Structure 1
Amino acid sequence: MYLGLDLGTSGVKALLIDAGQTIVGSGHGSLEVSRPHPGWSEQNPDDWIRACEEAIAELKASHPKQLAAVKGFGLSGQMHGATLLDAGDKVLRPCILWNDTRSHVEAAALDADPRFRKLTGNIVFPGFTAPKLAWVKNNEPGVFAKVAKVLLPKDFLRLWLTGEHISEMSDSAGTSWLDVGKRRWSAELLAATSLDEGKMPSLVEGTAKAGALRGELASKWGMQGGIPIAGGAGDNAASACGMGTVGEGHAFVSLGTSGVLFAANAAYLPNPASAVHTFCHALPNTWHQMGVILSATDSLNWLSEITGKNAGDLTAELGETLKAPSGVSFLPYLSGERTPHNDSAIRGSFTGLAHESSRAVLTQAVLEGVAFAFRDSFEALAKAGTTLTRVTAIGGGSRSRYWLKAIATALGLPVDIPADGDFGAAFGAARLGLIAATGADPLSVCTAPDTDATVEPDIAFSGAYAEAYQRYRALYPAIKGATE
């Protein structure tokens, strides 16, 4: 048996698989986000431990024999979080999360230093870790003075599980401190934020062993001590391992709270000007690129709150037959946008509203707006040298066949729907645990699921969608100019 632990923003998931990669069982522990000020987003790292214990306790109650047979762990987690520890590994303040934008001034200052884009291959976004440390130094100097270690969220769980400060390449690539091409910490970039490598965890590949389970926890859970724990991955790279998106040209589109267009690469292909994320993959000598939309299903959930209709009912009103764009456009920038604009201040909008703009028309515009945001990411990836011929859809929003038709038509690509199953980050983490424990070939383990169906672009609406996309593209500078 192999166990994958995924530390998300809303909870921790524990997933058990057997040696044949069949899912045996799962457990869950819930989390909440604290927002003490506008633009802030924090969690108490002790809550991650509590949620992890809840998830594993659920597994122990339902599958005690299988849990006792675990031979390897893998870890996945929300990226970019700044978890600050003192010399005794005590947490100094709540973790500043990936969707916290308080450090936008510090991010812009670091991004203006050309060394950051040159060495990391990325813009310094406010959500990344380095600007958060710069913010702490500027606003909480007493805390900054005590920082002895900076850990990413999943690596704080690793510290609790193993007693060791270790991270891996995919998650660390989102800090703005990693030399992404050379897959190592940059002393130069750390020094630019008044830090050094001594305050960073050591680095391994995601498939490598990165500590072993402490005997105390093993006894508590009825497991063997010394079980190897894999380096693991950031959540998107872990999902890619679960989906088998590890080879050149393989890609998925994720319709979750945020949206991601993820492409695996066999080479390092940075293009920071496009606001594409270029990170190390969880497998050795591989990289990946991501276009990131901050509000994907969150846009539909927002409309659901406004209308009082749940998201499923809203999309059901549209049916499954694609319609031509109505002329109403929606910008899904409810909390700013990353790709391609890198603009934390921009906000969403509806344009083209008229008396006949019904609830269904607004829903259609929201789905199209998110589809066009994916088109923005598709264009940015192309500029970075990545060619895609098809994508696989994952995430809760992929249950809407209408939405998938809109995305396929907006991208001009077929969208594959995987067969039923859980191929997410926890599954990918379990796969990495299997590889670390057995030494199995990563490519033979991280295979793609069977395809249940394929949604083709609707050629009849290609022209109408192209025109609507151009309207969409013209709106960002118009809205930005009107709100500056």
Structure 2
Amino acid sequence: MYLGLDIGTSGVKALLMDDAQRIVGSANGALDVSRPHMGWSEQAPADWIRATRQAVSALKAEHPQELAAVKGIGLSGQMHGATLLDARDEVLRPCILWNDTRSFAEAEKLDADPRFRKITGNIVFPGFTAPKLAWVKNNEPELFAKVAKVLLPKDYLRLWLAGEHISEMSDSAGTSWLDVAGRRWSPELLAATDLDEGQMPRLVEGSERAGQLRAELAAEWGMGSGVVIAGGAGDNAASACGMGTVRPGHAFASLGTSGVLFAANGAYLPNPESAVHTFCHALPETWHQMGVILAATDSLNWLAGIIGRSASELTGELGDALHAPSGVTFLPYISGERTPHNDAAIRGVFSGLDRESDRAALTQAVLEGVAFAFRDSLEALAAAGTTLTRVTAIGGGSRSRYWLKAIATALGLPVDLPADGDFGAAFGAARLGLIAAEAADPFAVCTAPATAETIEPDTALADTYAEAYGRYRALYPAVRSTM
């Protein structure tokens, strides 16, 4: 048996998988996000441990014998979070999360230093880890002086599980401190933020062994000794391992809280000017590119909260047949945006409202706005040298057939739906746990699921969608000029 643990923004998921890669069971522990100021987003690292205990305890109650047979654990987690520890491994402050944009000025300053784009292959985005440490130095200098280790969320969980400071390439590529081509920390970039390699965790590949479960936790969960912990992956790379998106030409579109258009690469292909992320993959000698939308299902959930209906009720009102765009346009920038604008200050907007704009029109505009944001990422990937011929849809938003039809038509690409199953980050983490524990061939383990159905673009609406995308593209500079 193999256990995958995924620290998301809203919860920790624990997934139990057998040696035939069948899912035995899964459970969740809830998390909350603190937003003390506009643009801030934080979590207490202790809550990750509480939620992990909650999830694994639920698995133990349902599957005690299977949990006892676990030989390997893989970790996945939300990326970029700045978890700051002192010399005794005590947490110094709440973790600053991936969607926190307070460090936009620090990010702009670091990005102006040409060494960062040259060495990392990426723009320094406000959500990345390095500018957050620069913000802490500028605003909490006494606390910054106490920082002995900087860990990413899943690697703080590893510290609790195994007692070691270890990270891996895919997650660390999102810090702005990694030499992404060389797959190692850059002393030069760390020094630029007044840090050094001694404050960073040791690096391994995601499929390598990276610690062993502490005896106390093994006893608590009814496991034996010698349970291996894999390096793991950042959440998107872990999802790619779960989906089998590990070879060049394979891609997925993830409709989660954020949105991701993810393409696997067999070589390092940076193009930071496109605002596409170029990161190490979780498997050795592989990389990936991705366009990132900060508010995908988050945009629909925001609308649902305002209107007082569930997200599924709102999408259900539209039916399954795709409608022509109504003329109402929505920019899904409620938390700023990464690809293609790298703009932490921009905010969302509805345009084209009239007296006939009812609830369904607003919902349709939100779904189309997110679909057009995926189109922006597709164009940015093309500018970075990656051409896609089809994508596989994953994430909670992929349950809406209407939304998938809108995305297929906006992209002009077929969208594949995998056969029933859970192929997300926790499953990918469990696969990495298997690989590490058994020294298995990563590419033999990380295979793609069968395709249950393919949603083709609606060619009859191609022209009207192209016109609507043109309006969408024109709206950003118009809004930006007023801010």
TM-score by length of 1: 0.99
- SS of the residue corresponding to residue 416 of structure 1 reads strand
Q: Does 2:338 correspond to 1:335? A: no
Q: Which residue of 2 aligns with 1:109?
A: 109
Percent identical pairs in the alignment equals 80
Q: Which residue of 1 aligns with 2:354?
A: 354
Q: Deviations 1:146-178 (Å, cap 9, x if unpaired)? A: 111111110011111111110000000000000
Q: How does 1:238-249 map to 2 (within 5 A)?
A: 238-249=238-249
Offset at residue 6 of structure 1 (A): 0.5
C-alpha separation between the residues in 2 aligned to 1:118 and 1:202? 23
**One-letter code of the match for 1:99?**
N
Offset at residue 305 of structure 1 (A): 2.0
Offset at residue 47 of structure 1 (A): 1.3
C-alpha separation between the residues in 2 aligned to 1:211 and 1:274? 37
Q: How does 1:83-482 map to 2 (within 5 A)?
A: 83-482=83-482
C-alpha separation between the residues in 2 aligned to 1:146 and 1:298? 35
C-alpha separation between the residues in 2 aligned to 1:300 and 1:272? 29
Offset at residue 358 of structure 1 (A): 2.0
C-alpha separation between the residues in 1 aligned to 2:99 and 2:304? 21
CA RMSD of aligned residues (A): 0.9
- SS of the residue corresponding to residue 462 of structure 1 reads helix
Q: Deviations 1:355-398 (Å, cap 9, x if unpaired)? A: 22222122111111111000000000000000100000011111
Q: Deviations 1:183-222 (Å, cap 9, x if unpaired)? A: 1000000000001101100100000000111111111211
Offset at residue 306 of structure 1 (A): 2.4
- SS of the residue corresponding to residue 146 of structure 1 reads coil
Q: How does 1:15-54 map to 2 (within 5 A)?
A: 15-54=15-54
Offset at residue 472 of structure 1 (A): 0.7
Offset at residue 294 of structure 1 (A): 0.8
C-alpha separation between the residues in 2 aligned to 1:307 and 1:159? 42
C-alpha separation between the residues in 2 aligned to 1:28 and 1:301? 20
* Conserved 8 A contact 2:4-2:14: yes
C-alpha separation between the residues in 2 aligned to 1:315 and 1:8? 24
Unaligned runs of 5+ in 2: none
C-alpha separation between the residues in 2 aligned to 1:311 and 1:227? 40
- SS of the residue corresponding to residue 482 of structure 2 reads helix
Q: Which residue of 1 aligns with 2:10?
A: 10
Q: Does 2:74 correspond to 1:74? A: yes
Offset at residue 27 of structure 1 (A): 2.1
Offset at residue 179 of structure 1 (A): 0.4
Per mean C-alpha deviation after superposition, the further-off stretch among 346-355 and 173-182 is: 346-355
C-alpha separation between the residues in 2 aligned to 1:9 and 1:305? 18
Offset at residue 312 of structure 1 (A): 1.4
Offset at residue 303 of structure 1 (A): 1.7
C-alpha separation between the residues in 2 aligned to 1:367 and 1:241? 27
**One-letter code of the match for 2:419?**
A
C-alpha separation between the residues in 1 aligned to 2:73 and 2:190? 30
**One-letter code of the match for 1:34?**
S
C-alpha separation between the residues in 2 aligned to 1:70 and 1:467? 54
**One-letter code of the match for 2:84?**
L
Unaligned runs of 5+ in 1: none
C-alpha separation between the residues in 2 aligned to 1:225 and 1:216? 10
* Conserved 8 A contact 2:71-2:226: no
- SS of the residue corresponding to residue 13 of structure 1 reads strand
Q: Deviations 1:202-248 (Å, cap 9, x if unpaired)? A: 10000000011111111121111221100000001001100111110
Offset at residue 37 of structure 1 (A): 1.7
C-alpha separation between the residues in 1 aligned to 2:33 and 2:243? 28
- SS of the residue corresponding to residue 481 of structure 2 reads helix
**One-letter code of the match for 1:91?**
V
- SS of the residue corresponding to residue 188 of structure 2 reads helix
* Conserved 8 A contact 2:239-2:423: yes
Offset at residue 280 of structure 1 (A): 0.4
Offset at residue 32 of structure 1 (A): 1.0
Per mean C-alpha deviation after superposition, the further-off stretch among 220-229 and 248-257 is: 220-229
**One-letter code of the match for 1:170?**
S
**One-letter code of the match for 2:240?**
A
* Conserved 8 A contact 2:44-2:94: yes
C-alpha separation between the residues in 2 aligned to 1:152 and 1:276? 21
- SS of the residue corresponding to residue 407 of structure 1 reads helix
Count of matched residue pairs = 483
Per mean C-alpha deviation after superposition, the further-off stretch among 89-98 and 376-385 is: 89-98
* Conserved 8 A contact 2:77-2:235: yes
**One-letter code of the match for 1:128?**
F
- SS of the residue corresponding to residue 322 of structure 1 reads coil
* Conserved 8 A contact 2:258-2:298: yes
Offset at residue 256 of structure 1 (A): 0.9
C-alpha separation between the residues in 1 aligned to 2:37 and 2:468? 37
Offset at residue 74 of structure 1 (A): 0.3
C-alpha separation between the residues in 2 aligned to 1:306 and 1:95? 28
